Amino acid sequence: MSDTALTPVEQKKVVFYDDEITAVLVQIGDEEKVYVPIKPVCDFLGVSWSGQRRRINRDAVLSEEIRSVNVTFTEPSRTRQISMICLPLDYISGFLFGINAARTKPEIKDKLIRYQRECYRILADAFVAPALSVQPIDADDQSLMQLHNMALVIASTTKEMLEVRRVALSNETRLDAAREYLRGMNNRLKVVEHRTRAGSLTDEQAREIQHRVNLIALELTVHDPSVKHHGGVYETLRQETMSTGYKHIPMKGYEDALSFLDNWLGAIQQTEIPVENG
């Protein structure tokens, strides 16, 4: 994710049943993209924002697409901008279908399924270019106008279906990778067993520590881009674990180190970043 928040050229509020979803249009080079803030969608659905944020970060596709975008909020006494984590509209279906309706609370299951089925199309329709919207000149044009509007709906629905299929194929690819990983698990377990007896972290465990440190440093950079935060995070971890470096954390302290880093990351991700309105 880029450290610099994007500034939209247009912002709309789209009423989806009883929810008011904000979407923004961003100009990136010669391309226009519609982005949707994810935290409000999680709030509408009653699912944990911090948990969904972690899921996005773990996803090989979604983690590459998230962007920070300045979203404007009008309050009784002022107008302000908040930098919010957003996904492109084309990836909203992929995000929503990643939430398993069978594992959600019964009271939100129907709402989640409605979002999965209809949310993309409703938001896409809100950003259809005005030039595509036609009005009849006289009564004889009614049938042509209906055909035109029907074609727009078919095009939007087809795009949504293709996105769902893309996500399904992506999931199948990940399943194949998981099967391949499991085939080599016995060898990895032997290495882990050897390293455990030696009392040092495995390379894989060291990478897990490093991955979490990188995530925390990226989040801190959003708060203060003028500072390189990796060194500070490593130093704090070193003091917490009483070790000379993350690769020298004793095996018995590995789980405590992960818990410390996860709690730190979760605390940062709970806070949206206000941006002063110039």
pLDDT, average across residues 201-217: 84
Q: Is the pLDDT assigned to residue 76 strictly greater than 70? A: yes
What is the rounded CA–CA span in Å between residue 32 and residue 29?
A: 8
pLDDT over 50 at 241, yes or no: yes
Q: Where are the alpha helices (DSSP H) in 3-48?
A: 38-45
Range scoring the smallest mean pLDDT among 57-71, 134-148, 219-233: 134-148
* pLDDT per position as a tens digit, 139-152: 455 556 556 656 66
How much is the pLDDT for 85?
94
Q: Is the pLDDT of residue 155 over 60?
A: yes
Please give the pLDDT value at position 65.
92
Q: At what angle do helices 230-241 and 203-223 cross, to 10 degrees?
A: 130
pLDDT given at position 202: 77
Which is nearest to 188 in space by CA: 175, 162, 207? 207
DSSP for 160-219 reads HHHHHHHHHHHHHHHHHHHHHHHHTHHHHHHHHHHHHHHTS--HHHHHHHHHHHHHHHHH
**Residue 258 structure tokens:** 């992960």
CA 121 to chain centre: 19
More confident position, 17 or 193:
17
Return the pLDDT at 57: 93
Place of tokens 């490093």: 210
Residue-level pLDDT at 92: 92
- Ranking 61-70, 177-186, 207-216 by mean pLDDT, the lowest is 177-186
179, pLDDT greater than 90: no
Which residue blocks in the chain are alpha helix, DSSP H? 38-45, 49-58, 62-65, 92-97, 106-126, 142-183, 185-198, 203-223, 230-241, 254-269
Looking at residue 131, its pLDDT comes to 44
DSSP 8-state class, residue 133: -
Rounded Cα distance between 116 and 114, Å, is 5
* Residue 134 pLDDT greater than 60, yes or no: no
Residues 277, 81 contacting (CB under 8 angstroms)? yes
The SS3 call for residue 30 is: coil
Residue 181 — very low, low, confident or very high, per pLDDT cuts 50/70/90?
low
- For residue 87, what pLDDT band results from cuts at 50, 70 and 90? very high
* Whether residue 70 has pLDDT greater than 50: yes
Burial class (CB in 10 A: 0-12, 13-18, 19+), 100: exposed
The reported pLDDT for the residue numbered 216 is 86
Contact (CB, 8 A) for 116 and 97 = yes
Percent of the chain past pLDDT 70, that is, above it, reads 70
**Which pLDDT tens digit goes with each residue over 27-57?**
888 888 999 999 999 999 999 999 999 999 9
Place of tokens 């941006």: 275
